[in-house]
């Protein structure tokens, strides 16, 4: 599904109480900063993606073409406190771009204002129609899927980084977006968490089709097998992408599922074993090639200690993609599958 967004973007952070609620804005600000003209925050907002704070009028003066809803709250609904800002943006002629579950047309008065000004309402979280049921049929090409110990642990960032590193080495690679932020960054993808559950595996097959033998599809993971609310989408991706390689992503600050303290995160070696076991349904030779961690909560010495412990526990390379880059993971991928993409 191609998605064409008009730049420059004004990233709307609303009045969210935590930085983690603005992960869409954070992703766009990091990977497409040159397309952004600022951020718009309402009173009480606790998120900041490091862009200039501007009003709608100031953004329009800077040439803004789109107000991008940069917020991803649980449930995906628009807060009442955001609506007047969205209406005013449409009144000024800015496209409204949203990755929320709730469609923009359901915001009272928004469609009429957009029609009058010539603005577009762009809902990114809309899957294509007539998706097939997954078949598990073998297909050519290679696929890497990022998986997590929890939600929001760096699966998108890791996948984007690996894709970029592969292409920098002259390799044939495509980032495959499965969430609203990834789709906004890539300009195409399927919002997997908006697909009816029977068709998630089929959607993943459509997203990562048969390809040339040396080609890698680097697929953005969603959810976690260990999250009681979002494990289903993860399992569908595991079966549908038919991954040859997995990278486990983990936030070193967490020992339990975020906001669910009764659910402990298993040891990383156990997590890897469960992911590999689940993925073997459609690819019997799948392997995990490394661990990507978020070590932002740790100092240098403690991170080095934890990293060494993870490598000893799992027997795999461990990196923080922001601190270290992902070259070690791409080296591991090459060692496992060869530089042309064929399994060694």
pLDDT in tens, 229-259: 999 999 999 999 999 999 999 999 999 999 9
Spatial separation of the C-alpha atoms in residues 340 and 344, rounded to whole Å = 10
Residue 181 and residue 118 share a domain = no
Is 344 within the bounds of a domain?
no
pLDDT cut 70: percent of the chain above it? 97
Is 78 within the bounds of a domain?
yes
- pTM for the full predicted model: 0.90
pLDDT reported for residue 343: 42
Instruction: Enumerate residue ranges in the chain where pLDDT < 50.
Output: 341-344
The contacts of residue 247 (CB under 8 Å, 6+ apart) are: 144, 145, 146, 147, 158, 162, 288, 289, 290, 291, 292, 329
Residue 241 and residue 114 share a domain = no
Residue 205 and residue 107 share a domain = no
Residue 268 and residue 174 share a domain = yes
Residue 298 and residue 195 share a domain = yes
Task: Determine the structural domain holding residue 181 and report its residue range.
Answer: 142-337
pLDDT reported for residue 229: 95
Q: What is the DSSP string of 133-162?
A: PP-----SSEEEEEEESSSSSSHHHHHHHH
Nearest CA to 208 out of 195, 223, 221, 218 is that of 218
CA 267 distance to own-chain centroid:
24
Domain final position from 69, 92, 123 = 123
Nearest CA to 113 out of 93, 136, 143, 142 is that of 93
The CATH number given to whatever domain includes residue 58 is: 3.40.50.720
Query: What letter would DSSP give residue 8?
Result: S
Residue 156 and residue 19 share a domain = no
pLDDT reported for residue 2: 67
Kindly give the pairing relationship between strand 256-257 and strand 260-264: antiparallel
Is 4 within the bounds of a domain?
no
The CATH number given to whatever domain includes residue 158 is: 3.40.50.300
Residue entry with tokens 């029609």: 115
Query: What letter would DSSP give residue 128?
Result: P
Nearest CA to 38 out of 18, 20, 65, 17 is that of 65
Number of compact structural domains in the chain = 2
**Contact in structure between 38 and 59 (CB atoms under 8 Å):** yes
pLDDT reported for residue 75: 67
Residue 306 and residue 224 share a domain = yes
């Amino acid at each position: 599904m191609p998605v064409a967004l008009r730049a420059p973007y004004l990233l709307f952070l609303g009045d969210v109480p935590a930085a983690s609620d603005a992960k869409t804005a954070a992703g766009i600000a990091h990977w497409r900063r040159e397309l952004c003209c600022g951020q718009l925050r309402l009173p009480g907002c606790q998120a900041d993606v490091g862009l200039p704070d501007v009003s709608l009028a100031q953004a329009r003066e800077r040439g803004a073409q789109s107000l991008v809803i940069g917020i991803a709250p649980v449930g995906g609904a628009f807060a009442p406190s955001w609506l007047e800002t969205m209406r005013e943006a449409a009144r000024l002629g800015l496209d409204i771009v949203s990755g929320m579950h709730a469609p923009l047309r359901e915001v009272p008065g928004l469609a009429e204002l957009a029609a009058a000004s010539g603005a577009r309402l762009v809902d990114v979280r809309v899957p294509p129609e007539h998706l097939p049921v997954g078949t598990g049929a073998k297909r050519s090409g290679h696929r890497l899927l990022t998986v997590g110990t929890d939600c929001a642990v760096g699966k998108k960032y890791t996948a984007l980084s690996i894709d970029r590193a592969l292409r920098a080495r002259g390799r044939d690679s495509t980032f495959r977006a499965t969430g609203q932020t990834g789709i906004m960054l890539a300009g195409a993808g399927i919002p997997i968490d908006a697909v009816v559950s029977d068709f998630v595996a089929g959607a993943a097959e459509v997203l990562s089709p048969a390809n040339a033998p040396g080609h890698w599809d680097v697929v953005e993971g969603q959810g976690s097998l260990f999250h009681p609310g979002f494990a289903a989408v993860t399992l569908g991706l595991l079966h549908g992408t038919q991954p040859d390689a997995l990278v486990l992503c983990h936030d070193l600050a967490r020992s339990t599922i975020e906001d669910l303290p009764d659910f402990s995160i298993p040891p990383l070696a156990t997590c890897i074993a469960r992911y590999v076991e689940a993925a073997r349904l459609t690819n019997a030779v799948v392997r995990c090639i490394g661990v990507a961690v978020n070590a932002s909560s740790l100092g240098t010495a403690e991170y080095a200690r934890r990293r060494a412990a993870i490598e000893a526990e799992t027997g795999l390379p461990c990196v923080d993609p922001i601190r270290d880059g992902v070259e070690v993971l791409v080296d591991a991928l090459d060692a496992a599958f060869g530089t042309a993409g064929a399994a060694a």
